[in-house]
Amino acid sequence: MITNGEFFNATLEALDFEGDDQQRRDTEANAGNIVQAVMTAYGAPAGGVIDPTSTPTPPPVGLVYGRIQSGKTRAMIASTALAFDNGFRISVVMTSNINDLVTQTHGDFTSGLHGVMTFTKDDDLGREVENVKMQMERGNGRLLIVCSKGAGSLQNVSTFLTNIGAGEYPAIIFDDEGDQASLDTNTARRARGEVAIDPSTINRIIQNNLKGALIRHVYVSVTGTPQAVLLQSVGSTHRASFITMLPPGRSYIGGDHFFSTGEPEDNPDRLIEIVEHDEKDQLLNMDAIVPDGLRHSILFFLVSASAAILTIGPKSKGYAHLSHPSLRNNEQECAETRINVFLAEVASALFEEGETEIERELRAAYENLRTTLGDETPDFADVVETIKKQLATRKILVINAKVKRQGIAYGPGLNFLIGGNTLGRGIAVKNLLVTYYVRDARVSQIDTMHQHARMYGYRLATLKHTRLFIPRHLYYRFRDIHESDTDLRAFIEAHKDQLPGSFPVEYTEELRTTRGNVLDVNNMDALRPRMHVFPNYVIVPQAVRGYEQTIERMRARFVLPTATEHELAAAYPDGLEISKDEAIELATGIKTHSKNTWRDKTIAVVIGKVAAHYNDRVLLRFRTANRTVGVDGFISTGAVSGDELRTARDGAIPTLWIMSVTTRGGDGVPAGERFMYPTFIIPENFPRLFMFNRG
């Protein structure tokens, strides 16, 4: 791979690293990892380059798994430049169908890539066909298109690409926030048997028109919330064949800083301020006083931002306070009114003679700030004077889809942002110090709620000035989301060299994994406490070699090299503790035709995920049994029941039963056939719930 080419070097110079050499090295490394994976998927030999005349079949699909506000756009810019140096001629970047995000992404790419023909949906692409076609054919040109995931925009881009003959050139399609809009939202309806349902509009245009115009392409989904992508079934055109992890830079502040402790009071950085459970109801009740949580968050922000102005210095886009009350526009407007009225009250109080209640509360906020800022905290009198000056030019900005701003119009001082769905994805809030989060739902989606974590980002310089005001029950939800994300990353990292058939995603009773309409419900399953996982279709007769191999493995585990089946069953009546890997070897060595939760392709993942919560320990038990097997090898219930099942469910660790079964005879299978039959039982004390695709 060429790593010092014209486009990559120029892009690295153009990107603003502010003298941070480590950030530059991180960007180079991330782009190298992404493009190497793309080139390998396209068919490039190890250490070689792609063949521009080849057409990968089927077109590869990849996933870049980043973090919330961790620099995914910068990674796409650098990766596009590096890909241009390594034989790719076209890059299409699809981003959210929100004007702010399209504008932000286009601006980022235009400033970072020089010498490249760059267009967006706002350009009249039809007038550019002949020029671009000539540059591509004769001038060895490079083409970048940034477009929204709106139907009209995607159709215009697809038509343009067809007209310039884009199918002749190697291309990358980057799907920014690839779990949003691109997936087929008719998947669940189709899976439930509602026949003749076409794919959803955006998905259909991407699959048929955009990909059809770029037959030599690699499709790369980029997101920090990949739950919906990872839960796609085998037949989905969005199921990833390779995954690249995108690590954040050293100054990144994420869930480890906000939600790494069971209780908010134990947060080591003192970032969490708990507000009342009914804070949102108080906020939206215009007849009630301003709720304490909002009041304290604003006063702390006034102190914190003023201290930052005095110590760190002013910023061209000021410092920000973000309120996230609801997705409804009228409720955001209600929050705007409450904030506006309270700020006027603060300004009035600061110009009164003597110490007012507001000033006493500001002093309490000041003492709060001192717990993290320490000796760096400026004098209280200087902070108050700065607040007085800054309140005169403070800005209140309601950011939602209704407004459709072409970029957030920050002021240079104090900015109060009130957010809805537009702030839920992609938009980076500049210099965010205080977040007031009270948006609630009876059941939240992991990916949607995780995207609300706008307090994440490269904020190390202002970490001591930062606070999150949040009800306790919402803190717990974010904590569970952080744990789920951490667990998923560790699982992918452990399997990055060979992707498994399934990706278990942790959830809770109050957290769905993702929106259900993009999932094939016939291929989804869940792991839960007390679950009895067994194959419902077996292969009978079973290959003698496979049967004997399992016997030999049992003998090895029990250290009984010549034992018969009955001797093995009698050897350890209470079971023998084995490792996760030993359990997986035994279970996967038994081939079935199962169509329920037990799937040969994914049972290793199931056992591994459960055993990981018990220090990779599994209890192995063995016995003989006689069973009636139905047509096609059907078994209606597992071979464990009664006391054996209760014991396993009450056990301290999961149990793997291996049974040597002899058929009784019946409609399906004659008497006397032998086969090995596995059963895996999750104990009641299993602390998690997992959703996964059966493969």
Say yes or no to pLDDT of 334 above 90: no
CA-nearest of 690, 686, 606, 623 to 652 is 686
Q: Check residue 44 and report its DSSP letter.
A: P
Over residues 46-97, the pLDDT tens digits come to 888 899 999 999 999 999 999 988 888 889 989 999 999 999 999 999 987 5
Over residues 172-219, the pLDDT tens digits come to 999 998 988 899 999 888 877 766 788 999 999 999 999 999 999 999
Q: Distance between CA atoms of 429 and 425, rounded to whole angstroms? A: 11
Which of the given ranges, 178-192, 504-518, 568-582, has the highest pLDDT on average? 568-582
B/e letters for 502-533, b = 16+ CB within 10 Å, e = fewer, are: bbbbbbbeebbbbbeebbbeebbbebeeebbb
For the entire predicted model, the pTM comes to: 0.84
Tokens of 511: 């957290």
Say yes or no to pLDDT of 332 above 90: no
Residue 38 · residue 62 · CB < 8 Å: yes
Above pLDDT 70, what percent of the chain?
A: 93
Q: Is 183 exposed, middle or buried (0-12, 13-18, 19+ CB in 10 A)?
A: buried
Over residues 135-151, the pLDDT tens digits come to 999 888 999 998 889 89
- pLDDT band for position 575 (50/70/90)? very high
CA-nearest of 630, 652, 626, 649 to 639 is 626
Backbone angles phi, psi at 481, to 5 degrees: -65, -45
Q: How confident is the model over 380-389, as a mean pLDDT?
A: 97
Q: Distance between CA atoms of 108 and 534, rounded to whole angstroms? A: 52
Residue 493 · residue 163 · CB < 8 Å: no
Q: How many CB atoms lie within 10 A of CB 378?
A: 18
B/e letters for 128-153, b = 16+ CB within 10 Å, e = fewer, are: bbeebeebbeeeebbbbbbbbbbeeb
More confident residue, 328 or 512: 512
More confident residue, 106 or 622: 622
Say yes or no to pLDDT of 589 above 90: yes
Over residues 217-242, the pLDDT tens digits come to 999 999 998 998 998 887 788 999 99
- Consecutive H or E run containing 96: none
User: How does the average pLDDT of the chain come out, rounded?
Assistant: 89
Verify cis geometry, omega within 30 degrees of 0, for the bond prior to 58: yes
Q: Check residue 226 and report its DSSP letter.
A: -
Residue 668 · residue 630 · CB < 8 Å: yes
Least confident range from 281-295, 352-366, 405-419, 460-474: namely 405-419
pLDDT of residue 681: 96
Q: Distance between CA atoms of 499 and 243, rounded to whole angstroms? A: 8
Q: Check residue 428 and report its DSSP letter.
A: P
What domains can be seen in the chain, in order of their start residue?
A: 6-245 (3.40.50.300), 258-441+449-473 (no CATH), 521-693 (no CATH)
